[in-house]
Chains A and B, each alone.
Chain A
């Protein structure tokens, strides 16, 4: 069965006012951003929406997710973004639900942005790495100055807005040199209830700088702190999907589970590309010489690289195919499987840490269910 693309990452800005050390857009080997416009033109945005909606109609899609991304997408400006959102909403074909969200570094947010996102039900993701001494070590501007104070101000404003705020959450990139528990507690103090802790973007030719087991320890401690708080109103997305995967063998996020990767990226110049994190695997690797001005979404999907994304599970090595955790982890996030020698035919570079973390979560779940004498089953 062909799995249609429903997630469209639209790079409305190709530049960023921050220069985070681990940024997969600018600091992990890919340099194609140097040749792209700083902001998407309205003409390209117009083609982008046409291509997406034509594709959705041809494939009888019921919903699509438009993810406004960058660089720093707020650098496109409020007026441009308002225009784009209104165009995206008003031009959607009948019967198609358009879900929209935006991912920002949080330094430029203000009341005008909040009102725009609230009005149009735009989900807001803010990148944030916790206490200032850690956040400011990595999330710096081009002069090397930390961005904590600006992002903290935005988070405070969002919290104070209460129900008038758009739906918002915080994304943290895991770093085992720090305590995930401390970051989690810091987020709770700030009133953050929706959060995620992303596995850092490395692969077999760009190895994580930490000893094996460091990330597992980070995630296991974090899981225990979150789980033992027993507050179901606080969400950590990766853990929730891991638990669902353990209970049912299914997860719905691209970073976890045996899924086809079908994300479509549209760059500021209109380039059509597969999942953006794949650019960490090689300079220019995602450049496929396709553009919304001349090509349909199907043209992108027909490329070898996109077919690898769709069929990524078939590329997994025997060690993954015979692993007890395959149905839960799917071999790990596809970009983390890359290595020049075998392409994506590897387990995740985080395999041992992933397995250890999932096993820990599974053990805790099973222990609780057994203690309660509750059996769960798929019937």
Chain B
């Protein structure tokens, strides 16, 4: 990924966080998920931009075979709430 794009997106997240809106909006979640090449992520309250940066790095480094498997699980369960798959990032 282009580093500038990534920084720009992170800045969006930082702006929001700096305003103490600690429950990230969908658009920011999606930005982060896109950076990590994942469909979605969940961010806990209190996450800092540094936390996010580190988490994205970890997610990016995840074995792509494992990422594929995780995405397949979710794709195979569309609309099934009980099985809808969500990847959460721990801080």
Say whether A and B bind each other: yes
Instruction: Give chain A's interface residues, CB within 8 Å of chain B.
Output: 226-227, 230-232, 240, 243-244, 247-248, 250, 252, 365, 368-369, 372-379
Shortest C-beta distance, A213 to chain B (Å), equals 25
Task: Chain A residues near B69: list those with CB within 8 A.
Answer: 240, 243-244, 247, 365
- Going nearest first, the 7 A-B pairs with the smallest beta carbon separation are A243-B69, A232-B64, A372-B58, A248-B73, A232-B68, A373-B90, A247-B73
Least CB separation from A240: chain B residue:
B69
- Is B62 within 8 A of A374, CB to CB? yes
Query: What are 23 A-B interface contacts by the 8 Å CB criterion?
Result: A226-B65, A231-B64, A232-B67, A240-B69, A243-B69, A244-B76, A247-B73, A248-B76, A250-B76, A250-B83, A368-B63, A368-B66, A369-B66, A372-B61, A373-B90, A373-B91, A374-B58, A374-B59, A375-B90, A376-B87, A377-B86, A378-B83, A378-B84
Q: Does B89 contact A (CB under 8 A)?
A: yes
Shortest C-beta distance, B10 to chain A (Å), equals 18
Q: Does B22 contact A (CB under 8 A)?
A: no
Task: Chain A residues near B61: list those with CB within 8 A.
Answer: 372
A230-B63, A250-B73, A368-B63 known; A376 vs B68 contact (CB < 8 Å): no
- Is A374 within 8 A of B65, CB to CB? no
Least CB separation from B83: chain A residue:
A378
The docked-state distance in angstroms from the alpha carbon of A368 to that of B63 is 8
Q: Does B27 contact A (CB under 8 A)?
A: no
Main secondary structure of the interface of A (DSSP, over half): mixed
Main secondary structure of the interface of B (DSSP, over half): helix
- Is A374 within 8 A of B82, CB to CB? no
Instruction: Give chain B's interface residues, CB within 8 Å of chain A.
Output: 55, 58-59, 61-70, 72-73, 76-77, 82-91
- Is A230 within 8 A of B64, CB to CB? yes
Shortest C-beta distance, A84 to chain B (Å), equals 31
Task: Chain A residues near B68: list those with CB within 8 A.
Answer: 232, 240
The docked-state distance in angstroms from the alpha carbon of A293 to that of B31 is 59
B89 contacts which of A244, A248, A373 (Cβ < 8 Å)? A373
Shortest C-beta distance, A256 to chain B (Å), equals 13
- Is B73 within 8 A of A372, CB to CB? no
Q: A250-B83, A368-B63 are in contact. List 12 more A-B contacts (CB 8 A).
A: A227-B66, A231-B64, A231-B65, A244-B69, A250-B76, A365-B69, A372-B61, A373-B89, A374-B90, A375-B88, A375-B89, A378-B83
